Amino acid sequence: MTDATHRLVQRIGRIFSLNEDERHALATVPIIMHTFASHQDIVQEGDQPGQCCLIVAGWACRYRILQHGGRQILSFHIPGDLPNIHGLHLPVTDHSLAAVTTVTVGFVSHAQIHDLIAEHPRLGSAFWKDTLIDAAIYRERIVGMGRKEALPRIAHFFCEVFLRMQAVDLTTQHSCSLPITQTEMSDALGLSSVHVSRVLRDLRHQEFIALDHRTLTILDWSRLMALAEFNPTYLHQDISVPT
Amino acid sequence: MTDATHRLVQRIGRIFSLNEDERHALATVPIIMHTFASHQDIVQEGDQPGQCCLIVAGWACRYRILQHGGRQILSFHIPGDLPNIHGLHLPVTDHSLAAVTTVTVGFVSHAQIHDLIAEHPRLGSAFWKDTLIDAAIYRERIVGMGRKEALPRIAHFFCEVFLRMQAVDLTTQHSCSLPITQTEMSDALGLSSVHVSRVLRDLRHQEFIALDHRTLTILDWSRLMALAEFNPTYLHQDISVPT
DNA sequence: CGCGCTATTGAGAGAGCTCAATGTGCGTGG
DNA sequence: CCACGCACATTGAGCTCTCTCAATAGCGCG
């Protein structure tokens, strides 16, 4: 199994119990690999792609640019994510997708996915569920941006990132990679980068987290979760929060 | 055809081209009607419902309550919406659903929808697409809450509401019902109700809109859209913006 | 070893918040 | 049909969280 199919099976297998047939079907889907340098666009707003992306290595993000130069990052995507599978049914992309780090992407054509689903209808449900979890993550972001101050908002972001990384085996103990700048974080959370810098200082001083060299370490899960009002239900996976 | 099945066929037919079989299958799904008084919960956070809701008349909203009493409204739902169809694949509901006005709801059991999809796979895609549009609306909200000030944010909300209402034939000329309080609006958009009141005054004084007796009238579409940076692409429907 | 990107810190400004008082409209009951 | 009460809306005043601008510091890479 290649890296790419491994990621795909791991991801879908985690949110949906697959039988041997389905697993095999997924593992043999043709995937075309491509690498993008950081800041490169993978898909642009207005595009009508004929394929879905699978993030195999590195981070990507969906974003939108506003008239006066503002940027809103809609989501970050980590290995195993299918950041534009909605393209299967929404022909015109309403936001751009860019590489955050150097990113390895696998492309799977829509036709192939349609065939896969036609032959294994339960896989259709699995992909659908994947997009539903994506939407649940949006909801959680809305709650944070609408009704939480910067400190809990950022704390919540760290909880989420860590658990998502854990689900794809990219954590060690209480640490994981967080390969984004403070500006990217601020554009994702609706803050200024200056304020993010100050809030991070507080989170460090109060020993909730450590964050250096793009590595996030969660020092005190229970306090961080309480601060963030974090409840992992919305990720809709069997996740155990580290203690 | 009952009101409920009419709404269902209208909605799905609008986002997906149905053949006669599929239309008939949708039109004959058993639906159990129920009425909720305003402010009543229809589904609560943590519930594991065995059925989906179809809004037949009135408005509903998804929301979440935070520890210190804050409320975040995640979305409003109008006739034709299927506000918890994600329950098909996400067993535990991660937010509550409540009646905004007196609301008539049709309940369709998950089992029935699964059967429907098994027999008419394209209907599965149609429902899936419905949830993808839902997610696109979330994205748009995130952009507004993260990077737009109150005036364009509220303006955008009005554009969206009007077009969604138009898609289900609930507009007349440039007006539609907007049966929500300013407090509900503020909880949806991440503002205080006081500030919403002031912004509405501005929008009225500058003759973008009129809003009395829960009726919204858009007085100048092009100026309002420009103010809001509104681009209807994200609704992913054939929509013509009034001129 | 120096350039460029990222992070940090200070200072002042502002959008939006909270608290509180007043105004308005509508439904209910006498 | 009027009066009352309640929910909603409006307005004022002061406050605060977060922003912008700007300068400095640190780090990684060629």
pLDDT, position B168: 96
Mean pLDDT, residues B146-165 taken together: 98
Q: Which pLDDT score is estimated for B25?
A: 97
Give tens-digit pLDDT for B84-139: 999 999 999 999 999 999 999 999 999 999 999 999 999 999 999 999 999 999 99
Q: Which two tokens stand for residue B117?
A: 């999809």
- pLDDT computed for residue A240 by the predictor: 84
Q: How long is the CA B191 to C1' D11 vector, in angstroms?
A: 17
What is the C-alpha separation between A147 and A135, in angstroms, rounded?
A: 18
Say yes or no: Cβ of B179 under 7 A from any atom of strand C.
no
Instruction: Please give the mean pLDDT across all residues of chain B.
Output: 96
Token representation of residue B9 = 């066929």
- Residue A242 included in any domain: no
Residue B239: left (phi > 0), alpha (psi -120 to 50), or beta? beta
Between B108 and B239, the more confident residue is B108
For residue B201, the number of C-alpha atoms closer than 13 Å in the C-beta half-sphere is 6
In the structure, what pLDDT confidence band is assigned to residue B178 with cuts at 50, 70 and 90?
very high
The total number of structural domains that make up chain B: 2
Q: Are B80 and B7 in contact (CB under 8 A)?
A: yes
A42 and A107 fall within a common domain: yes
Max Cα distance, chain A (Å): 55
Do A10 and A125 fall into the same domain?
Answer: yes
Q: Domain for residue B184, yes or no?
A: yes
Residues B181 and B117 in one domain: no
CA-nearest of A159, A149, A144, A150 to A221 is A159
Tell me whether residue B215 is in a domain: yes
For residues B78 and B198, state if they share a domain. Answer: no
**Could you give the CA distance from residue A95 to residue B143 in angstroms, rounded to a whole number?**
11
A239 Cβ partners below 8 Å, 6+ apart?
A163, A166, A167, A232
Q: What percent of chain B has pLDDT over 70?
A: 100
Q: Mean pLDDT per 10-residue run, chain A (243 residues)? A: 93 96 96 96 96 97 96 98 97 97 97 97 97 98 98 98 97 96 98 98 97 96 98 92 84
In a domain, residue B141? The reply is: no
Helix (H) or strand (E) holding B59: none
Nearest to B131 among A62, A135, A143 (CB): A135
Q: Per the domain annotation, does A145 fall within a domain?
A: no
Q: Residue B214 is part of a domain; what is its CATH number?
A: 1.10.10.10
A149 touches chain B (CB under 8 A): no
Residue type, B76: F
Cα distance from N-terminal residue to C-terminal residue, chain A: 33
The residue that minimises its CA distance to C1' of C10 is: A194
The residue segments making up the domain with residue B114 are: 3-136
Interface of A with B in 81-100 (CB under 8 A): 86, 89-90, 92, 94-95
Distance separating alpha carbons of residues B17 and B22, to the nearest angstrom: 10
What's the confidence (pLDDT) of residue A115? 97
Distance B189 CA to C11 C1' (A): 31
The confidence score (pLDDT) of residue A194 equals 97
Q: A residues 63-82 near B, CB within 8 Å?
A: 64, 66-67, 70-72, 74
Distances (CA, A) of B177 to B58, B164, B166, B169, B237: 10, 11, 11, 11, 21
β strands within chain B, DSSP E: 32-36, 41-43, 51-57, 60-65, 71-77, 96-99, 103-109, 171-172, 175-177, 209-212, 215-218
CATH, residue A111? 2.60.120.10
Are both A50 and A116 inside the same structural domain? Answer: yes
On the question of pLDDT at B1 being above 80, the answer is no
Residue nearest to nucleotide D16 (CA to C1'): A149
Which burial class, exposed, middle or buried, applies to A22 when counting CB atoms under 10 A from its CB (0-12, 13-18, 19+)? Answer: buried
For residues A115 and A190, membership in a common domain is answered with: no
Confidence of residue B239 (pLDDT cuts 50, 70, 90): confident
Decide if A216 is inside a domain.
yes
Nearest CA in chain B to A114: B125
Whether B122 contacts B23, CB under 8 Å: no
Distance, Å, B148 CA → C14 C1': 15
Quick check: B91 and B48 in contact, CB under 8 A? yes
Chain B's closest residue to A141, CA to CA, is B142
Residues A56 and A130 in one domain: yes
Work out the pLDDT band at B7, boundaries 50, 70, 90: very high
Question: What is the H or E stretch that residue A206 is in?
Answer: none
Residues B44-67: pLDDT tens digits? 999 999 999 999 999 999 999 999
Rounded CA gap, A171 and A169, in Å?
6
Q: Is A144 a domain residue?
A: no
Q: Do B65 and B119 fall within a single domain?
A: yes
pLDDT, mean of residues B78-82: 98
Residue-level pLDDT at A158: 98
What order of strands is seen across the sheet that includes strand B96-99?
Answer: B41-43, B96-99, B60-65, B71-77
Q: Quick one: B207 and B185 in the same domain?
A: yes
Chain B residues close to A128, C-beta within 8 Å: 89, 124, 128, 131
Q: List, for residues B219-236, the tens digit of each pLDDT value.
A: 999 999 999 999 999 999
